[in-house]
Chains A and B, each alone.
Chain A
């Protein structure tokens, strides 16, 4: 039995080219980029190069890229850093009910600290309405945070339009682009985004690194204070090797973006077709059209989620119930709860997320296995 990994939205294996770039950096480039000697300068050069690649990938300037330890830190820095630096201008933040927990729990925290947060609902496709964003803005609003592609159901939000609304109202706009980065192009010269979070290990880069894009002139209260790294916005010795690995992963993602997005879309489409031809009763969660190509979330009526995942796992198939970060235990998905007023929906929905290593044969295999497990459960 061959193992099939269909949980790339949780973490994608490091591409060997990225691993190679990282290992080379670790072996040959030992300095601390803040040191003024030769080794330090060499490390600085490599870091600058990596930062340039990250900036280029979204049409940003190099000093608009703040390297972080990952997506969670980037989301936290964006929200807390922006809110605290602008609290004299207002105390109202707008976000949605279907954000990643790195955004939601941070917003809850800000509520405890005296900020007001509006959590905009979504429709049954997981879409936020532009009118709802517009209506939620008050004269106290300082920040709107809406994720680009949802990590559980894959629905893409109209962030270009939301960014325009925010700009028209003189409010900052943050987007969590952890799942969409590398697959959905975004150009900071075209879209008035103030802050954007990205994580490396979702695009086949190493874990432990990510970045926050912060538009020039955006004031943030730093989270980690200490040395003067990252233009005083994020202290701590820069993780040069990981940055090199991340940059390599970005370079490949940018080069192969259309190819990858097309391939994942084909896998996802084929997966649904296979489920149909296997006669599995299911419904797709999330938007039909405006969706991330690599995430497929399906509702299979009357299954018990936990035992379904265990049986898939025994068959060598790795999938998930939702975000890995809510995992450890299977809790009802806040995303599906926001989309459907039906506890059964989230108790019987599964996420499959595809990546570079997957094949059509594997997708077929997954669909077959799903049919087998459904039959076993229904007859048992």
Chain B
């Protein structure tokens, strides 16, 4: 099997599973309990927090554990907007965010907030000056995805962060879900106040994630209850899942150091080979894209049909983001990039893991050469 849908989810690493299993049995206590099993669980939780914080080069008090990327984005966006609504109800984001951010903004609009959706160029990139120009007196939050989950386009987060430093009252959030393993962001340099991370995108487990909240950033919690996570996120902490996430993050960063060059080469190879396929139009920019994502359209062909044909040959890719792939809707990301309806309707996403090898990509290319001309004949495209 050739699994090339790692932007949807990744296979948990064996070491990560081992960590989970050990923690689940040896540290089963509730970290809020005062007795020994509770204290031991709390100690492990603290160690995991320190480990994650040190990898992200932030303070451990700045790391809040969540149930994943969707919760991270929702907490960052709604939490900030709601907490600071007395200062203003204007928010800035882009047209190419993940649905978990876009839907959060849509909900806030329904509650009377005003949201500016910044446009992107053909490469799917926003211009830092556009961000600054959109800032108003009543703007409380700017939220920009770091690596786009459909096209892999990297947004100029550092440059935006630098410009936003001139507006100290404004909070800056980035959705780092796709970037965390393959394009690590220097949170300090990027001057972000909030940063969302999800573990199952880097071989951790589903149901775990983190939100970096810079010291001094105040936000309103989504879940109320016990005083966990500095009262920002109530609910018994998923200690074994969190320990496994810290492990996965460390391993992912090690793999990134070792494999990044090879992955960029692999991506370059795939992009070159796609050029040779009749009718293929690559949506991922040649430069300034994450190494693990390649998005390509076959105008006139139905992506579901291509995916099915690939599946028959045990190759697994996806249309756009898994979170919206059930809908036969065009990609909002490719539409926003102005690449046209046809391309937005026919986009396919190929996403690598650290373990993806050249032979797998060769196989994919071979299959494309085999099936695409056939399909075009049938469709008369």
Tell me the minimal C-beta distance from A71 to chain B in angstroms. 7
Tell me the minimal C-beta distance from A24 to chain B in angstroms. 11
Residues of A280-335 whose CB lies within 8 A of B: 309-310, 312-313, 316-321, 323-328, 330
Residues from chain A with Cβ under 8 Å of B5 in the complex: 31-32, 35, 37, 39-40
- Answer yes or no: A105 CB below 8 A from chain B CBs: yes
Contact check, B30 vs A7: say whether CB atoms are below 8 A apart: yes
- Answer yes or no: B113 CB below 8 A from chain A CBs: no
Interface 1/0 per residue, A217-236 and B, CB below 8 Å: 00001111111110000011
- Answer yes or no: B167 CB below 8 A from chain A CBs: no
Count A-B contacts at CB 8 Å: 268
Q: How far does the alpha carbon of A105 sit from the alpha carbon of B237 in the complex, in Å?
A: 18
Evaluate whether A237 and B21 lie within 8 angstroms (CB atoms) in the complex, with A11-B33, A32-B9, A224-B74 already known.
no
Q: How far does the alpha carbon of A14 sit from the alpha carbon of B238 in the complex, in Å?
A: 12
- Answer yes or no: A2 CB below 8 A from chain B CBs: no
Q: How far does the alpha carbon of A34 sit from the alpha carbon of B226 in the complex, in Å?
A: 32
Residues from chain B with Cβ under 8 Å of A206 in the complex: 24, 238, 240-241
Interface size of A by Cβ–Cβ distance < 8 Å? 78
Tell me the minimal C-beta distance from A60 to chain B in angstroms. 22
Residues from chain B with Cβ under 8 Å of A3 in the complex: 36-37
A72-80, A154-162, A179-187, A371-379: which lies at the interface: A72-80
Contact check, A26 vs B17: say whether CB atoms are below 8 A apart: yes
Residues from chain A with Cβ under 8 Å of B222 in the complex: 76, 223-224
A316's nearest neighbour on chain B, judged by CB, is B36
Residues from chain B with Cβ under 8 Å of A109 in the complex: 224
Residues from chain B with Cβ under 8 Å of A257 in the complex: none
Tell me the minimal C-beta distance from B59 to chain A in angstroms. 20
Q: How far does the alpha carbon of A106 sit from the alpha carbon of B235 in the complex, in Å?
A: 12
Contact check, B103 vs A321: say whether CB atoms are below 8 A apart: no
Among B70, B236, B241, the most chain A Cβ lie within 10 Å of the Cβ of B236
Contact check, B28 vs A320: say whether CB atoms are below 8 A apart: no
Contact check, A105 vs B37: say whether CB atoms are below 8 A apart: no
Residues from chain A with Cβ under 8 Å of B100 in the complex: 224-227, 235-236
A312's nearest neighbour on chain B, judged by CB, is B35
Q: How far does the alpha carbon of A239 sit from the alpha carbon of B11 in the complex, in Å?
A: 13
Among A5, A14, A207, A241, the most chain B Cβ lie within 10 Å of the Cβ of A207
Interface 1/0 per residue, B270-301 and A, CB below 8 Å: 00000000000000000000000000000000
Contact check, A318 vs B225: say whether CB atoms are below 8 A apart: no
Residues from chain B with Cβ under 8 Å of A35 in the complex: 5, 8-9, 316, 318, 322, 325
Residues from chain B with Cβ under 8 Å of A242 in the complex: 205-207, 241
Q: How far does the alpha carbon of A326 sit from the alpha carbon of B225 in the complex, in Å?
A: 9
Tell me the minimal C-beta distance from A135 to chain B in angstroms. 27
- Answer yes or no: B166 CB below 8 A from chain A CBs: no
Residues from chain A with Cβ under 8 Å of B34 in the complex: 309-310, 313, 320-321, 327-328, 330
Tell me the minimal C-beta distance from B307 to chain A in angstroms. 6
- Answer yes or no: B333 CB below 8 A from chain A CBs: no
Q: How far does the alpha carbon of A235 sit from the alpha carbon of B68 in the complex, in Å?
A: 10
- Answer yes or no: A201 CB below 8 A from chain B CBs: yes
- Answer yes or no: B58 CB below 8 A from chain A CBs: no
Contact check, A106 vs B224: say whether CB atoms are below 8 A apart: yes
Contact check, B71 vs A236: say whether CB atoms are below 8 A apart: yes
Contact check, A69 vs B74: say whether CB atoms are below 8 A apart: no
Residues from chain B with Cβ under 8 Å of A73 in the complex: 67, 223, 235
- Answer yes or no: B338 CB below 8 A from chain A CBs: no
Evaluate whether A40 and B226 lie within 8 angstroms (CB atoms) in the complex, with A11-B236, A34-B325, A226-B103 already known.
no
Residues of A11-35 whose CB lies within 8 A of B: 11-14, 16, 19, 23, 26-27, 30-32, 34-35
Contact check, A11 vs B29: say whether CB atoms are below 8 A apart: yes
- Answer yes or no: B38 CB below 8 A from chain A CBs: yes
Q: How far does the alpha carbon of A287 sit from the alpha carbon of B236 in the complex, in Å?
A: 27
- Which of A38, A313, A325 contacts B226 (CB under 8 A)? A325
- Which of A221, A235, A240 contacts B70 (CB under 8 A)? A235
Q: How far does the alpha carbon of A13 sit from the alpha carbon of B32 in the complex, in Å?
A: 15
Contact check, A241 vs B226: say whether CB atoms are below 8 A apart: no
Q: How far does the alpha carbon of A238 sit from the alpha carbon of B228 in the complex, in Å?
A: 23
Residues from chain B with Cβ under 8 Å of A199 in the complex: 236
Evaluate whether A69 and B325 lie within 8 angstroms (CB atoms) in the complex, with A11-B33, A100-B225, A324-B226 already known.
no
- Answer yes or no: A101 CB below 8 A from chain B CBs: yes
Interface 1/0 per residue, B98-139 and A, CB below 8 Å: 111111101100000000000000000000000000000000
B227's nearest neighbour on chain A, judged by CB, is A328
Contact check, A72 vs B226: say whether CB atoms are below 8 A apart: yes
- Answer yes or no: A149 CB below 8 A from chain B CBs: no
Residues of B222-248 whose CB lies within 8 A of A: 222-228, 234-241
Tell me the minimal C-beta distance from B373 to chain A in angstroms. 23
- Answer yes or no: A61 CB below 8 A from chain B CBs: no
Residues from chain A with Cβ under 8 Å of B33 in the complex: 7, 10-11, 318, 320, 324, 327
- Answer yes or no: B368 CB below 8 A from chain A CBs: no
Q: How far does the alpha carbon of A35 sit from the alpha carbon of B311 in the complex, in Å?
A: 12
Contact check, B225 vs A101: say whether CB atoms are below 8 A apart: yes
Q: How far does the alpha carbon of A326 sit from the alpha carbon of B38 in the complex, in Å?
A: 13
Q: How far does the alpha carbon of A323 sit from the alpha carbon of B227 in the complex, in Å?
A: 11
Q: How far does the alpha carbon of A199 sit from the alpha carbon of B234 in the complex, in Å?
A: 14
15 new A-B contacts at CB < 8 Å, known A23-B17, A235-B99, A236-B68 = A5-B37, A10-B30, A16-B25, A32-B8, A35-B9, A35-B318, A39-B3, A207-B237, A208-B241, A226-B70, A226-B99, A309-B34, A324-B236, A325-B228, A328-B32
By Cβ-Cβ distance, the 3 closest A-B pairs, closest first, are: A325-B226, A227-B323, A226-B100
Question: 6 A-B Cβ contacts within 8 A?
Answer: A23-B17, A76-B224, A102-B226, A199-B236, A207-B238, A236-B68
